[in-house]
């Protein structure tokens, strides 16, 4: 039985999604909890990696339950949660098709990024929002966001992992890049058919630089659609992990 999970986590105390020697990642914690339940190793596949400090409201993952287990899929929710730290919670568990894959079946994702513009960052938002008390222009911010919509090469907004090749495709299509006000600042929402490594954080850093008058909108726009391997510029600033949330995954 293939089980699909919906997971939420507070990334402040975690080393990201992907398994690491530290054992302090979401994947490591989930696999340990699943192995304790199944009494044998269980491999869990996520929809994608999130960096250390990044949060998730609805990350999606899947695993194949060992054949000897006859648990109702829903029972995996309490079985896993009783073994997980409070910073990670399985919200839903359901049986899915055997050809479903949390990563490769995904058709799109939505992230949001929270920014606190108050003079003093509340201790209850520390690690949950980017503190930017310096004034920014919301109209310039919206103009920069609109510039990113559509299908572009986002090579200038992709951090390098070291495994890139000449055939690496940096093209992605953004369907939403919006701004809304919060009681304490702003929320940027990004939706698209896929995101490159640190793409949301680099895009967020770029549009904020425009909104603060540190980067001309025309220069920001020039970073899009540069010929692969010939990028004359890189995104000027990577926003911190603090304010980034994986909101949803589409299938």
- Residue 235 domain-assigned? yes
Of 96, 127, 158, the one marking the end of a domain is: 96
Of 61, 96, 131, the one marking the end of a domain is: 96
In a shared domain, residues 80 and 168: no
In a shared domain, residues 133 and 58: no
Overall number of domains in the chain = 2
CATH code of the domain covering residue 41: 3.30.70.580
In a shared domain, residues 51 and 149: no
In a shared domain, residues 220 and 168: yes
- Residue 64 domain-assigned? yes
pLDDT tens digits in sequence order for the chain, 251 residues long? 999 999 999 999 999 999 999 999 999 999 999 999 999 999 999 999 999 999 999 999 999 999 988 899 999 999 999 999 999 999 999 999 999 999 999 999 999 999 999 999 999 999 999 999 988 999 999 999 999 999 999 999 998 766 656 678 999 999 999 999 999 999 999 999 999 999 999 999 999 999 999 999 999 999 998 766 555 567 889 999 999 999 999 99
pLDDT at residue 227 in the model: 63
pLDDT at residue 24 in the model: 96
Give the active site residues. 51
pLDDT at residue 143 in the model: 98
In a shared domain, residues 152 and 189: yes
In a shared domain, residues 174 and 235: yes
In a shared domain, residues 83 and 116: no
- The end-to-end CA distance of the chain, in Å, is 19
In a shared domain, residues 180 and 89: no
On the 0-12 / 13-18 / 19+ scale of CB atoms within 10 A, 106 is: middle
In a shared domain, residues 126 and 243: yes
- Residue 137 domain-assigned? yes
Parent domain of 182: 108-250
119: Cα within 13 Å, side-chain hemisphere: 0
CATH code of the domain covering residue 231: 3.30.70.660
pLDDT at residue 225 in the model: 82
Of 52, 70, 96, the one marking the end of a domain is: 96
In a shared domain, residues 158 and 226: yes
In a shared domain, residues 189 and 237: yes
- Residue 101 domain-assigned? no
- Residue 102 domain-assigned? no
In a shared domain, residues 192 and 148: yes
- Which pair of structure tokens corresponds to residue 212? 């603060």
Q: DSSP for 108-161, please give it.
A: EEEEEEEEE-SSS--TTTTTTSEE--S---HHHHHHHHHHT-EEEE-GGG----
If you ran DSSP here, which 8-state letter would residue 239 be given? P
């Amino acid at each position: 039985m293939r089980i699909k999970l919906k997971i939420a986590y507070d990334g402040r105390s975690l080393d990201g999604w992907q398994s690491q020697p530290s054992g302090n990642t979401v994947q490591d914690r989930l696999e340990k909890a699943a192995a304790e339940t199944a009494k044998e190793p269980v491999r869990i596949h996520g929809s994608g990696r999130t960096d250390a400090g990044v949060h998730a409201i609805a990350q999606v993952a899947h695993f194949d339950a060992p054949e000897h287990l006859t648990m109702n899929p829903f029972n995996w929710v309490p079985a896993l949660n009783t073994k997980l730290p409070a910073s990670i919670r399985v919200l839903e568990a359901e049986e899915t098709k055997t050809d479903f894959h949390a990563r490769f079946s995904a058709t799109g994702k939505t992230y949001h990024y929270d920014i606190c513009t108050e003079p003093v960052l509340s201790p209850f938002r520390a690690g949950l929002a980017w503190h930017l008390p310096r004034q920014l222009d919301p109209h310039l911010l919206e103009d920069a966001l609109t510039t990113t919509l559509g299908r572009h090469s986002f090579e200038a907004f992709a951090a390098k992992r070291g495994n890139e090749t000449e055939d690496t495709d940096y093209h992605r299509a953004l369907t939403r890049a919006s701004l809304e006000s919060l009681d304490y600042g702003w929320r940027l929402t990004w939706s698209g058919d896929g995101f490159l490594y640190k793409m949301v954080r680099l895009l967020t850093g770029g549009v904020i630089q425009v909104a603060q008058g540190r980067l001309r909108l025309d220069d920001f726009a020039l970073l899009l659609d540069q010929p692969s391997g010939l990028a004359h510029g890189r995104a000027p600033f990577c926003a911190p992990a603090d304010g980034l949330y994986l909101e949803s995954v589409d299938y």
